[in-house]
Structures are given as C-alpha cells and as structure tokens.
Structure 1
Amino acid sequence: MNTTPPSSVSTDGLSRTERLDRLPVTKEHSTLLTRSGIGWALDAMDVGLIGFIMAALTVHWDLSKTETSWIASIGFIGMALGATFGGLLADRFGRRHVFALTLLVYGIATGAAALSTGLVMLLILRFLIGLGLGAELPVASTLVSEFSPRAVRGRMVVLLEAFWAVGWIAAAIIGTVLVPRGDDGWRWAFAVGVIPALYALVVRWGLPESVRFLESKGRHEEAEATVRRFENSEPGPGFLQASAASATDGGLDVLDEAQRDAAIVGAGTEGSEPVTGIWSPAMRKRTAAFWTVWFCINLSYYGAFTWIPSILASNGYSLVKSFTFTLIITIAQLPGYVCAAWLIEKWGRRLTLTAFLVGSACAAGLYGLADAEWSIIAAGCLLSFFNLGAWGALYAVGPELYPTPLRATGTGAATGFGRIASIIAPLIVPPLLVFGGTGILFALFGVAFTIAACAAFTLPELKGTALAER
C-alpha cells in the first residue's frame, strides 16, 4: 500500500500555492471575502457599540469617568490576550476553526452582557467579549490573505477591513436609535450582539481551511480539493480583478528567484539567517517596526473613537445629538477604505500606509482645534477617512511579513501588543481632558500617528511577491 502523500506540485510544475496565486478572482474568493467580512463587521459592531453604551451608563448608573474608562479598557485587555493566543491557536489548529470559536465566544458573552446587574458583572463579561474579539481579527486577515491571488492580495485584505466600517456604522445606527430609548436602551444594544454566536455556524461549515495550513499539517488531499474548488469556480466581480496595467503572466509580476528572495527578506535584514521566530535576525527589524505601528495606531484610534460620544455629551450636546455627530463621522470610514484598497496596489503597501498615517496625524490636530459644530464634523470625518484607511493598509501588510508557520502568530502577536495601547488609551483620556482639554488630547494622538508613520516607512515593500512558506 502506497502511503506517500499526494505531491503539492501539479503536472505543469506549479505548487498549489502558486496555482492559487495565478488565479483571477473567482466567486469562491468573493464568497470567502464576504463571509469573513460579515464576521469582521459583527466584531466592529460590538466594539463600536461600547462607546455609545459608555455614554449612556455614565448617566444611568452615575459612573465616574474612571469607572467608565474601565468598561472600555477591560475589553481591550481581553483583546490583547485573545489576539496573542488566537494567532498561536490558528497556526496549530487551523484558521477556520479558531475563527468560528472566536465568534461563538464573544457573541454569547455580548448577549449575556445585556443582563448585567452592575458594573462588576459587566466588566467580567466585557473581558470575555474581548477575548473573542481580539482573537478573530488576525485570524480572519490571515485566512483571506492566504487565499487571495498575489496581484490583488493587498486589495482583498483592505476590502476585508472595510467591513469594519460597515459594522461601526451599524453600531452608530443601533446606538443612535436604541441606546437613548430609556434606562434599558443599552441592554437592547447588547442583545443585538448575540448575532455573531449564530453566525459562527456559517463560518465553521461555509469557509475553506487555508491551503498553506493544510499542507503544513500533511493534509494534502484536503489541500488539493480546496485548490480545485477555487480553480473550477466562475470569475468573480470585475472590480476585484487585477488591472491590466499592473499584471503580467496572468496577473502576476514575474520575479526571478533572487529578486523574490530579496523582496521577501527586505532591505537591511540578514537573508542568510534561518527564520525561526518573529524575533529571529531576519525578522526582528520588521517585527519592531510593525509592533510600533500597531501600538501607536491603537492608542490614537481607541482613545479618540471610544470617547468621542462621551466627549461631545460632556461638552453640552444631548445624547441624541452627540450620537448623530458620531454617526456622520463614522460614515467617512467607508471612502477611506475604498481609497486605500485602490492605492495599495498602485502605490504599494508601505507608501499607502505611511500616507494615511500622516493624514491621520493632521486630522487629529484639526479635531483638537475644532470648536464649532461644522468643524467638529469636518475634522472628525477627515480623521475617520485617514485613520481607517491606515487600518486597512496595516492589515494588508501584516500577513505578508511572515512565512506560513509564523504568519498567524506574527500578526496575532503584533495585534496583542497593540492592544496594550488600546487598554491604556481610554484610561488616559479623562486626566488629559482635565489637564489640557481636547486640544492636548488630540495633539497626543497626532504625535502617535506621526511616530507610526515613521515606523511604517521602514517596513519592506512586498507588493507583487509570493507569501513566504518558510
């Protein structure tokens, strides 16, 4: 009996991953993107709702600003742990299984949060919600990245991240409509968050497992069946396809072996060193820069957007009006993602990420100076546009930096480190507001965005290169 596993190389000499790289975008790709994106949007909806719930509970439970801050921060502590261990679990047990588990955990915990009888119970459930939320994001981006054709890989991941805006807009609508409706409005907002637990079933049985992961575990027959499923699928939407101007050899930039190795290793690293971990000599510079970007963008994003509804309310605006302002500002996230999705395959990953971070720094400065209603909305929309475009580019960069055995671990570790900043951010907002007001607060966020832009510019440009296998 022949026990030799099926070869990963087809009769035309291409490996399974090369066959995936050379495909046009198919309906299977668009289905994967949509189903993963729905999970992503549900995640964003849960994170976005907490800003509205915080503003309401400050009134209904007579919470201090410190107590309110902990409602946000305890969730981010869970997200930090979830992101770190979620990536490790995904590299060991598979992307799809961990993705489904994360949806189940935070969906059930969110529904239970609607029954909270006091602050302590809510904090415990917020921590559990954070565990699920934090683990999902690096796993979903890794799964989509590993299936995407090379010529549009960055665009696909940015479009996945664009579902965050959809979820955040849904949160703004739910927050505006439900939360102000009496003392129990916030409970109904939490109750809506149980939907991810049901959607976990769709993810578990509807999404394919990563071909790269299957091959790394010796499951070659499953890997071959998955590749054929994509090869036999009909073409997907035209807007997802690679443009003719950027495509050669069926949509790919053809690199010889030396060029590919140089691109994957990146300038300034030691390509001859074995890649044994994310802090090995060949990886340490990019890991340090990647972690810096993650930390600074988390500090600014969650410090600003978690507190904007409460800051507006404390400045004299009613809950309904402050929530409406937040909804308008949130809508500006969508064009930011669309612009980043287009530019990332035109300008490349590094320049797109850096440009949007610089724009975020300028927008943060403008928001700190805004005092009239029109200027608050305008500066807020600019901050949404640039900040969320930067998020999209960042998620596209991450999976490309590491080889397959370390890909989910590397992205998860960076996400986990960044969550430290998201834990700190809500806690530093109240004292900074007392010390120097909105101007000082958003000046700090502008500085953080500037540091992130400098770190992003040191990352290697990996547009058009194959994902590294080892």
Structure 2
Amino acid sequence: MSDIVKSSTRGLDSVASSAHDPVPDNGDEKKIVILEDMFRDGDVDPVYQAKARILNTAIQEIGMGRYQIYLFCCAGFGWFADSVWPLITGLIMSPVVSEFKFNAPFLILAANVGLLVGAIFWSFGCDVWGRRWSFNLTLFITGIFGLAAGGSPNFIALASLLAVVGIGVGGNMPVDSAVFLDLVPASHQYLLTVMAVWWSLGQLVVSLLAWPFIANFSCPVDATTCPRSENMGWRYLLFTLGALTLVLWGVRFFLFKLFESPRFLVGIGKDAEAVEVINKLAQYNSTTTTLTVDQLVNAGKSVLGDNVSDVQHQEKRRSVLSQTSVFGVKHVKALFVTKKLAFTTSLLILMWGVIGLASTLYNSFLPYLFTTRGAQFGDGSLYITYRNQFILSVIGIPGAFLSGWAVDLRILGRRVYLYSTTPRERQGSQVPFCSRRPPRGVPTLCLGGTVVTPSVVI
C-alpha cells in the first residue's frame, strides 16, 4: 500500500472508522499524519490495507525516537557491506589475476550471480519467515564466507566463495531498507536516502584498506611469476573485511534487538503480536500508544462487513498462504494494477537496469583501468591506483546528505529524481527495488520504489 502524508490531529480510532475523511486542525492536539491511499479500493488486499492504515498512524503517533536512531545505524551496516563486497572484486582483480592466471571477468560474473540470487531469495524470504531472520543472517553469511575467501587456494575456490558472499550481500539493502521503513514514522522516511552515507563510508573504508595492503603486499605489475608468499595483500584485505563484517553482525545480533515488522505480522493474521510490537516500540522510545487489537479487528470488519465467517476466512487464508510460502502471478500483477502504477513500475525497472549495468562496469573495472591506463601515462603503480580509488570514495560522501535534503524539497523531491509522479511519503513494507547500487540518486530510487509499490503480504 502506498500513502500520501498530510498533517492532522486525527487519532487512531478515527482512522479506524474512516481513513479518508478530513479532520480540521484546532492546534490543541498532538499532530500526527493522515495516510491517503494512492491505490483504489480493491487494488490490494483490502483487509491488510485497512489494518496498515492503523499501523501507519500508530507509528507516526510514536514518532522518531531512540529505537529508530539505533535502527538507522544497524540497518546502515547492511548498506556498508553492500558497498564493500561488490567493490572488492574490482579491487583485488589485478593481484588475483597475476597469481591465478585466469580470465578476469569470470570472477566478476561469479560475484554478480551470487548477488542476483541473494537479492531474489532474501527479498521474497523476508515476507515468508519475517524480517528478523533475514536481517540477522545476511551479514553473518557475508562475514563467514568473506573470511574463507581470503584463504582460497585457486580461482575456482575464490569465485565460489565470493558467489556465496554475494548471496548474503544481495539481501542486505532490500531487507535492511524494508526493516527501516517498517518502523520509522512517515515524517522521517527521507532518512532512507541519507542512509546512503553508509554506502559511501563502505567505499571509503575498503579503498583505505586496499591502498596499503595491495600496494605493499602484491607482486609488481610487470612480474612474470607471482607466488602466494609475495602476493598476500588481497588476502589480508579479505581477512580484514570479513572480520569487520562479523563485528557488525555481532553488534546487530547481540547488542540490538530487532522488533518484527508489525505489517508482516498483520499480513499473516497475527494482530495481537503486531500490537505488542507497537507497544514495545513506544516503551523503548519512552512514549505511549493508543493502539489496541480491537482497532485492527474492527478495521478488518469494516472492510468485509459484519459477517464473522468472511473475516475468519480471510484471516485464515492469509495465514495459511504465508506459512506455505506460495507465491504466484498475483504478486507481480500487484505492480501493474493501474496504468499509473504500471508505468511507474516499468520506469523504475528500466532505471535500475541501466544503473545496474553502468555501476557494475564502473566499480568492477575501475581499479584495473587505473593500473593499465596509468602505465600508458607513465605511472601505473598500485600505490597510485589505490590512492586515486580512495580519492573518489571521499568525494562520494557529501552526495548522501545532499540527496536526503533534496528529496523533501517541493521544487525537487522524488519527482525530479525519479522522473515520475509519486506520493510524498509512504509507510511501506517491502523494498523489492533496493539492491546493490551506488549512492546519491540511487537511494532515492529505493525510497521511490517503496512509494509506489503495493505492500501485499499474504
């Protein structure tokens, strides 16, 4: 479900009874948001849609607090890893080719196959077994197999291990972005765009580590033979990044407790657990909430009427389908239910495809081009290559803050970034378009994807 945010003083009970009737603002009550659907009734699951309205308002009523700040950091770890590991194939390409003597693009192919599998697997998986498992497992898989890749005895082992790393990394941005948007109020959803600063920091850190490791512990560029003992730089880099990724996973798993998505819970018929999550969120932020289970139940009844058997049938149907993990054509059709949504979905897919092609070519081959082309101009040393890579990484950091500032400007906003008509804010539950991409404009695509994507969880 996609929503437009408007300021109002409406409470949860009034939202439950009527989600669209305007309420005048007398200035005496605490301001929350009114969520106005961009979809026609019947375009998405009506029961879920009605309950999501209540949850959206409850989260906005709680507001931005301590929990969301911690979540911004922990979810940002996924963006950090999603920046580091896809870039690693390009950074280690020259010394690895010198040691193993293979066709370089095959290493990039293996890593990207893993990324594709991971993006598909985790994006669907987080709507089957929930956000928490996906959130906690992705970094663990990435760190373990990243460490193992550093000990690879040959190209086959290295390519295989980096492919598994890609499976873990491929789920970081879609899962972490969905988790963040599930629990952040609509008034602060622009922070998803600001989260690209973690991406930029990832590129900065990996370039900073690659600079001394590969420049000082690699075979000379013009060497005819390259034994392992003289080419340990890329292995040191993988060991370090694998250990760092496991540290970030440890912070997530042991120091931060992720609440399950309330939207996922109502999607599988667990209204009481969804209300419990909202209450825990309010308690963590030292505030209160007026949400009750009855409000969610009444929201479902208001859609289906007073026929108890129909309500129970709908709840049982969604729960059973979720447990059996059955996905069909209707999940794809949900993205094309209206002309406007079909056009915007097609445009997003096209933009992601073009950016995916460009970013893969750019990130994978840039260090290699620095080395080979630098030699033609008089200095193709590894020191200069990775120094230049570091400089480019530093320049990327301001872009994350600029994009976060720009998406909420009336003059610019998501319309200019996405070249399509979208609502200003949304409390979404899925981020299927978020994947391995560079900072600045692309995080806005992640946010824009959540704006126009119906959150159908059955």
**Is 1:281 aligned with 2:317?**
no
Deviation, structure 1 residue 101: 1.6
Say whether residues 1:345 and 2:408 are aligned partners. yes
Matching residue of 2:183: 147
Shift of 1:218: 2.5
Q: Deviations over 1:254-313 (max 9, x none)?
A: xxxxxxxxxxxxxxxxxxxx9873454334332221111111011111211221111010
Deviation string 1:20-57 (CA, Å, 9 cap, x unpaired) is 13443211111111111023212322222222111222
CA, structure 1 residues 394+208, in 2 after alignment: closer, same or farther (shift >3 Å)? same
SS in 2 for 1:91: coil
- Summarize the Cα distance change of 1:234–1:86 in structure 2 as closer, same or farther, 3 Å threshold: closer
Aligned letter for 1:305? N
1:304 aligns with 2:339: no
Cα pair 1:24 1:235 within 8 Å, conserved: no
Taking the aligned partners of 1:123 and 1:13, their CA distance within structure 2 comes to: 53
Distance in 2 (alpha carbons) for counterparts of 1:81 and 1:387: 19
8 Å Cα contact 1:213/1:404 also seen in 2: no
- Structure 2: gaps of 5 or more residues: 1-10, 17-53, 218-230, 288-329, 421-436
Aligned to 2:118: 82
Match of 1:228 in 2: 279
CA distance in 2, matches of 1:278, 1:191: 43
In 2: Cα distance, 1:333 partner to 1:292 partner: 24
SS in 1 for 2:417: helix
| Residues 27 and 234 in structure 1, CA contact (< 8 A), matched pair in contact too | yes
| Distance of 1:164 and 1:70 partners within structure 2 | 25
Query: Cα distance 1:353–1:57, how it changes in 2: closer, same or farther (>3 A)?
Result: same
Amino acid across the alignment from 2:417: T
Paired residue total: 328
Pairing 1:210–2:261 present? yes
Q: CA deviation at 1:354?
A: 5.0
**Where do 1:420-459 residues align within 5 Å?**
none
Q: 2: CA distance between counterparts of 1:323 and 1:30?
A: 34
Which of 42, 46, 56 is 1:17 aligned to? Answer: 56
Q: Deviations over 1:132-187 (max 9, x none)?
A: 1112221111111222221221x211122321111111110111121223211111
Mapping for residues 181-330 of structure 1, pairs under 5 Å:
181-182=216-217, 183-195=231-243, 196-204=245-253, 206-234=257-285, 277-282=333-338, 283-315=341-373, 316=375, 317-330=380-393
Tell me the TM-score normalised to structure 2 length.
Answer: 0.66
Q: 2 CA distance for matches of 1:214 and 1:344? A: 30
Distance in 2 of aligned mates of 1:396 and 1:95: 18
Give the match for residue 37 of structure 1. Answer: 76
Q: Does 1:95 align with 2:95?
A: no
From 140, 156, 160, give the equivalent of 2:191: 156
SS in 1 for 2:216: coil
User: Which of 194, 197, 200 is residue 165 of structure 1 equivalent to?
Assistant: 200
Match of 1:388 in 2: 439
TM-score, length basis structure 1: 0.65
For structure 1, the residue ranges without an aligned partner over 5 or more in a row are 1-8, 237-273, 356-385, 407-469
For residues 169 and 331 of structure 2, what CA distance do their matches in structure 1 show? 29
SS in 1 for 2:64: coil
Q: Is the 8 A contact 1:56 1:180 kept in 2?
A: no
Q: Deviations over 1:403-448 (max 9, x none)?
A: 2226xxxxxxxxxxxxxxxxxxxxxxxxxxxxxxxxxxxxxxxxxx
Q: 1:228 to 1:180 in 2, by over 3 A?
A: same
Q: Secondary structure at the match of 1:193?
A: helix
Q: Which amino acid aligns with 1:401?
A: V
Identical columns (%): 20
Question: Aligned letter for 2:281?
Answer: F
* Aligned 8 A contact 1:25 1:149 in 2: yes
- Give the residue type in structure 1 aligned to 2:212: V
Contact 2:56 2:185 in 1 (8 A): no
Task: Identify the residue that residue 449 of structure 2 maps to in structure 1.
Answer: 398
1:38-77 paired onto structure 2 within 5 Å: 38-63=77-102, 67-77=103-113
| 8 A Cα contact 1:22 1:150, kept in partner | no
Give the structure 2 partner of residue 256 of structure 1. none
Aligned alpha-carbon RMSD (Å): 2.6
- The structure with the larger Rg is 2
